[in-house]
Structure 1
C-alpha cells in the first residue's frame, strides 16, 4: 500500500512505545531514589509525543478543523511547564495509545485489501515474431497483437482479430449475458473473455483505454468526496471551551497555577481519544466476522448514519450469472428429461449459458452421460449424440436450421431473458428460459435495511431500461435508473445527497467511480472487480448481499456504544475537573482518576465485540 500511510503507522507505534517506556522507566528510577533522573526521563518521553501532537494540530488548523488534540497538548505543556512531569507522562501515554488504536484499525483494513487488489491486470501476452511473451502494460502500443486467454480481463482497448469471441461485459455495462463479438468489432478494456482464446489488435495504449479512464474518474470522485469527521471531533469545540474557561477561572480565582494544570490533566479527553477508537475497532472486528471488511473507523461511523441506498443490478441485486428460471416441454419429454438432454450435450461447450445448464442438472442430482459426435457452432449452439439419440441445443434459429423442424411456440418471457431450444431426433421438444435472476431474499433484505433507517433505495445500472424494470418489479424501489454511464452514476450519487448520507453498492468497473463518490461505497469483493474493491470503503468478502444488513446493524450498535462511553466518560471528567478546580485533586491524582475513568469507558466500549446482529440473515449467522 502507500508508503506515507506505512510511515505514519510506524511513527504512531514508535510514539506509543516511547511514551510507555518513558513513563514506567521514570517510575522505576523515582522509586530507586533518583527523582531528578526520573524527571529527565519523563521529559524525554513527553516531548516527542508533544511535538507529533503539535504538528497534527497545525495540519488540522490549516484545514479549518478544531479537534480534541488541543486539550491534550495544553495539558501536557502545562504539566511540563509547572513541574508536573509524571502527570504529563501519563497523559502522553493515554494520547499516543488512542491514536495508535485508530491507526491500527485502518492499517489492518489496508493489509486485508492487498489480496483483493492483486487481481488488477499488470501485464499482457503479446505476439512477437512467432512467439508469445508477457510484457508490462505500459510497453503495449497501438497495432500490437495480444492473446487474450479464457477468463482473462482485456487489458487495453482494441479490435477483435479472430473470427469471433464471447465476452462478459457485465463489469463495464451491466449487461449480464455474455456478448458474441465478430472480427473487427471494438472491445473495451475491462471486459472478460468468457469463451475460447482470441487475438486482440491494440488500438489505444493502456493509459488511454476505457479502464484507465474509469480509474481517473475514480480518482476525481475520491478527491471531491466530502471528508468524514471523527466522532470525537464533533464534540471537540464545546469541550475545549469548557475546559479552558474552567482552568482559567481556577487559576484566576485562586492564584494557584497547579489547579489549572490539574483541571487540564483531568480534562484530557481520553474517553473520546480511547473509548471511541476501542468501540469502533471492536465494531470493525465484529463486522469482519460476518464477512464485511470495513476500511477504518470513519467508514464505520458513516455506515451507521446512511439514509439512501443505491444498488447496481448485475452481480449485486442479481447473481450476475445466467440461471434457469423455467423449463417448458412439448409433452413428449418431461422437464427433467429436457434438462437432462440439454445438459448432457452442453458438457462439450465452454459457453457460460451451457455451463449454467450443466450446473443446474448436477444440482438436481442428474448423472450425465458423455456426449458423442459433438459439433459446436460458436455462439450459436451444439449438435451431437446423447444415449444414441441425435440432440441439438442452442438458439431457436440454430435448432430450426439443424433439424428443419419448426421451433416450439413459447410463452412471452421478460426482458433480459434468453431462450435455449432443444431438439431430439429431429423434433423440437422443449426449451429452457435463462436469466440473471434476482438474488434470493432480496425483498427481506430491503425490508431489513428500511427498518434500520435507510428510507430511500434506488437501482442504478448500465443495462437496458426494460431489463432493469423487469428485475426490480415488486421491490417497491424509490427509483430505477437504467442505461447509465459511469459518470452518470456519479451524478446520481451526488444528487441523492440532499436526502442524507448515500451508500452505493456495486461490483463492476463501471461502479467504481460512484463507489468512490458516495459517502459509503460497498463492493462485492468475492467476484467483483479489483477496481470496485479499491474504490470502496467497505468490501463484502463473501458473495451474499445480506451481509450488508449485518454490517449496517453492527455499525449502528458500535456507534451507540461509543456514544455511551463518550457521555459517561465526559460526564465523569467534568466532575473531576470541578473537583480539581476546588483543589481536591492534584495533577497526578487527576491523571490517576482519568485512568480509572478510561478503564471504565474502555470496558464499556469492548461490549462491541459481543454484538450479534438481529437482522443478519441465516447465512450471516452461520459465518
Structure 2
C-alpha cells in the first residue's frame, strides 16, 4: 500500500491541490471562511511532502531550490493568502509530475534497451526442449529461438536462417539475415521463423548484458553542467530570499515578499538541464552511440581533435581477398577452394578469412586429412588427393620442390598481405589479402570535420608505410605508425595543445589511449571488454556514422540546456522584480511560475528531436 502511494504520490498531490481550488471556489456561498479553510487543507499535504523531501536532501548534505517552494507556501498561509498557497501547491505538484514525465520521455530509448532483457530460453535437452533461466545457460548450449523472441545470449546460427531485428541495439531499421556459423547478437529480436543457435558466451558476458550495464551506469551519472546547476541553486536561493526580504523592508508590505517567493522558479536549473542532457543521451542511443554519462556528452561537445586507430576504425578490422594470382593450369577459384579446404583446420584469422571468402563464392569445400600446422607460419595436409601447403611465403617455399611465391608479387601495394599456396610440391600461386579502407571513410571524415573536429590524426600499430598510404588517401593532417599502446597514449596527450581530444579504437591495445583521451570511443559493442570499459562512448554498430550523430546531438543538447537556463532564469528574475515592486500579486506570480516551468521543460525536450 505504501509503495503504491509512493509510486503515484505526484498524481495524488496534484489531485488534492486541484480539488482544493475547485471546492474552495464552490464553497463561497457557505461563508467567506470556507474557501480559506479548504485552500489551507489542500495545501498542507503538498507542503508536508515537500518538507519531508527537503529533510531527506539536507541529511544528504544537499540544499536545493525546493526550499523556495516551501517558503512560498508557508509564508502565503501565514499571511492569509491561502489561494496563492493552494495555487503554488498545485503548480509545485504539477511541476513534479511534469518533471517525471519529461525525464521518462527523455530516457525512453535507453530504458527500452533494459526492458528487452530475456529471462529464459528454450534449450535442447536430449531430444526435447526445456525452458531454462538464462543464468543457467553456458557456452555450447543449443537453443531454439522462436518468432518474436529476444536472443538471450550471443551465439552462432546452427540451423535455418536468422532474420534479426537489431533496431534496439543499433538503430538500423531493416532486419538483417544471419546464416549458419554466422554470429547472432543477444538483444536482437527474431523477426523471422524459428531457428537454432549455439551459445558462445554466458548471459552475463553477452553483448547485450554489457550494453545494459553501460545504460544503467549512464542513467545514474550526473553531468558537470547539472552539478554546476546545483551550485547555482544555492546562489539562486540566497538571491530570492534577499530580494523578498528587501521588498518587505522597503515597502512595508509582506505580500510583496510572498509574491517574490511564489514567482521564483527552480525548474530552469534543477529540471531543464538534466532533461536536456538525458534527452541527448537517449537520442544518441537511438542512433547507435551509447554515451555513458552526462559528463561524457558535455565533453563530446567540446572536442576539437580526433585521434583514430586504423584497424577496425577506418578499416573493417578483418582481412578480405583483394585478388587471387594463380600459375598456369590452375584457376583462381580452384586455388582458393583447395587453400580454404585446408584452412578449415586452422584457427588463424587469415584462415578464417579464406574459408569465409570461399563460402561467399559458393565454392565446395572438402575436409582435409593428415593436417600438420606450424602455428603462425602455415599448415599442410591432403585435400582431394592433393598435397596442399598454405601459409607465409617463406614457409611455403621451404616445403615446395619448385617455384617461388616471389614471382607472383609484382605490383603489390603497402598494406597488402600474401598467403602463398603450393600444390603437389610446386608453388601454385598467391592469395592477396588486405584490410581495405571502409567505403564511407572519406565521407565520414568530412562529416567529422563538419561536426566540430578541427584536426584528425591517425595512430596505428601498423607499419609506417601502410599508415602513410592511408594518410595520403584520406587527406589526414598527421599519421603515426609502428606505435605501441604507450606511444598511442603519448600521441593522445600530445594533441591536447590543440584542444580536447577524442580517441577512437576497438582493441585491447587501444584501451590505455581511450582512457587517456578526454572522450574515448569504442568501436562496436562486440569489441573487447577492455576497450568498452575504458571508453566513454560505445558505438553499437561497426561503423563511425553514429559518432557523427553523437557529436551533433551533444552540441545541440548542451546548447538547449544553456538556452533553457538563461531564458528561464531571465524570466524568473523579471517576474521577481515585478513582484518586489508590487506589480505581480501572489496568485498571478504562481501562475507565471508554472508557465515558465512548462516552457523550459518543453524546450529541454527538443533535444530528443
TM-score where L is the length of structure 2: 0.67
Tell whether the 8 Å contact from 2:226 to 2:270 is kept in structure 1 after alignment: no
* 2:326 is aligned with 1:329: yes
Write the mapping of 1:124-163 to structure 2, written as runs, cut at 5 A: none
Q: Report Cα offsets for 1:550-573 as digits up to 9, x if no partner.
A: 221222233334444444434443
Change in 2 beyond 3 A, CA 1:586/1:327? farther
Deviation at 1:524, TM superposition (A): 2.1
Change in 2 beyond 3 A, CA 1:422/1:333? same
Change in 2 beyond 3 A, CA 1:479/1:372? closer
CA distance in 2, matches of 1:30, 1:347: 79
CA distance in 1, matches of 2:606, 2:111: 25
Write the mapping of 1:449-464 to structure 2, written as runs, cut at 5 A: 449-463=448-462
* 2:257 is aligned with 1:260: yes
* 2:267 is aligned with 1:270: yes
CA distance in 1, matches of 2:252, 2:59: 32
Deviation at 1:447, TM superposition (A): 1.1
Deviation at 1:287, TM superposition (A): 1.6
Residue matched to 2:442: 443
Deviation at 1:500, TM superposition (A): 2.5
Tell whether the 8 Å contact from 1:325 to 1:434 is kept in structure 2 after alignment: yes
**Alignment partner for residue 344 of structure 1, among 333, 341, 345?**
341
* 2:52 is aligned with 1:48: yes
**Alignment partner for residue 230 of structure 1, among 222, 226, 231?**
226
Deviation at 1:30, TM superposition (A): 6.5
Residue matched to 1:556: 555
Q: Report Cα offsets for 1:90-115 as digits up to 9, x if no partner.
A: 44663696599669978986996999
* 2:577 is aligned with 1:581: no
Moved more, 350-359 or 87-96: 87-96
Unpaired runs of 5+ residues, structure 2, are: 25-37, 78-83, 118-153, 155-221
* 2:356 is aligned with 1:359: yes
Tell whether the 8 Å contact from 1:16 to 1:97 is kept in structure 2 after alignment: no
CA distance in 1, matches of 2:58, 2:371: 75
Deviation at 1:76, TM superposition (A): 3.0
CA distance in 2, matches of 1:395, 1:421: 6
Change in 2 beyond 3 A, CA 1:360/1:452? same
Change in 2 beyond 3 A, CA 1:544/1:75? same
Aligned length: 483
Unpaired runs of 5+ residues, structure 1, are: 1-10, 60-68, 117-150, 152-225, 611-623
Residue matched to 2:593: 594
Moved more, 444-453 or 400-409: 400-409
Change in 2 beyond 3 A, CA 1:569/1:265? same
Tell whether the 8 Å contact from 1:99 to 1:273 is kept in structure 2 after alignment: no
CA distance in 1, matches of 2:115, 2:480: 33
Q: Aligned to 1:560, what secondary structure does the other structure show? A: helix
CA distance in 2, matches of 1:483, 1:401: 29
Change in 2 beyond 3 A, CA 1:460/1:561? same
Q: Aligned to 1:377, what secondary structure does the other structure show? A: strand
Deviation at 1:514, TM superposition (A): 3.4
Tell whether the 8 Å contact from 1:316 to 1:507 is kept in structure 2 after alignment: yes
Deviation at 1:47, TM superposition (A): 0.6
Tell whether the 8 Å contact from 1:30 to 1:37 is kept in structure 2 after alignment: no
Tell whether the 8 Å contact from 2:370 to 2:382 is kept in structure 1 after alignment: yes
What is the root-mean-square deviation of aligned Cα atoms in Å? 4.1
**Alignment partner for residue 309 of structure 1, among 284, 289, 306?**
306
Change in 2 beyond 3 A, CA 1:519/1:72? farther
Q: Report Cα offsets for 1:562-598 as digits up to 9, x if no partner.
A: 4444444344434433432333433343233222233
Tell whether the 8 Å contact from 1:97 to 1:274 is kept in structure 2 after alignment: no
CA distance in 2, matches of 1:103, 1:516: 31
Deviation at 1:455, TM superposition (A): 0.6
CA distance in 1, matches of 2:334, 2:397: 20
Tell whether the 8 Å contact from 2:340 to 2:354 is kept in structure 1 after alignment: yes
CA distance in 2, matches of 1:464, 1:526: 27
Residue matched to 2:538: 539
CA distance in 1, matches of 2:530, 2:424: 48
* 2:510 is aligned with 1:511: yes
Change in 2 beyond 3 A, CA 1:489/1:408? closer
Write the mapping of 1:393-404 to structure 2, written as runs, cut at 5 A: 393-404=390-401
Q: Aligned to 1:76, what secondary structure does the other structure show? A: helix
Moved more, 561-570 or 289-298: 561-570
Residue matched to 1:500: 499
Q: Aligned to 1:439, what secondary structure does the other structure show? A: coil
**Alignment partner for residue 377 of structure 1, among 368, 373, 379?**
373
Residue matched to 2:207: none
Q: Report Cα offsets for 1:60-111 as digits up to 9, x if no partner.
A: xxxxxxxxx7554334335424536542674466369659966997898699
Residue matched to 1:74: 68
Q: Report Cα offsets for 1:278-300 as digits up to 9, x if no partner.
A: 33333222222221112233322
